[in-house]
Amino acid sequence: MGSDEDDDDGGGQGEGGGAPLSYLGALGWTFGLSGLTALIAVAASSLRPGGTLDVGTELLATGAATLTLLVAIARVHSPSVELSELVGLRRVPAVLVVLALVAGAGLVFPLAHLDARVAERFPLDDELREYLATDTLRQRLLLSVFAVFGPLLGELFYRGALFGALERDKPRDTVVFVVTALAVFPPSAHALFSGLAFAAIASHLRGASGSVWPALALRFGASVVGVAALLTRHDDDHLPRNATAACVVAAGLALLFFFVLARRGAQDTAR
Domain interval for residue 98:
87-270
Instruction: Report the distance separating Cα 30 and Cα 158, nearest Å.
Output: 9
Helix axes 23-46, 172-183, angle to 10 degrees: 30
Instruction: Report the distance separating Cα 158 and Cα 66, nearest Å.
Output: 10
Name the residue among 224, 182, 231 with its Cα closest to residue 203.
182
Q: Is residue 225 part of a domain?
A: yes
CA angle 226, 232, 233 (to 5 degrees): 85
pLDDT at res. 124: 63
Q: Is residue 193 part of a domain?
A: yes
Instruction: Report the distance separating Cα 187 and Cα 80, nearest Å.
Output: 35
pLDDT at res. 185: 85
**Domains held by the chain: number:** 1
Q: Is residue 53 part of a domain?
A: no
Q: Is residue 192 part of a domain?
A: yes
Instruction: Report the distance separating Cα 60 and Cα 58, nearest Å.
Output: 5
Q: How many CA atoms lie within 13 A of 17 on its CB side?
A: 8
| 54-86 per-position pLDDT tens digit | 788 889 999 999 999 999 999 999 999 999 999
Helix axes 172-183, 192-209, angle to 10 degrees: 150
pLDDT at res. 209: 96
Q: Is residue 135 part of a domain?
A: yes
Q: Is residue 152 part of a domain?
A: yes
Q: Is residue 28 part of a domain?
A: no
Mark the ranges of the chain whose per-residue pLDDT is less than 50.
1-11
pLDDT at res. 97: 97
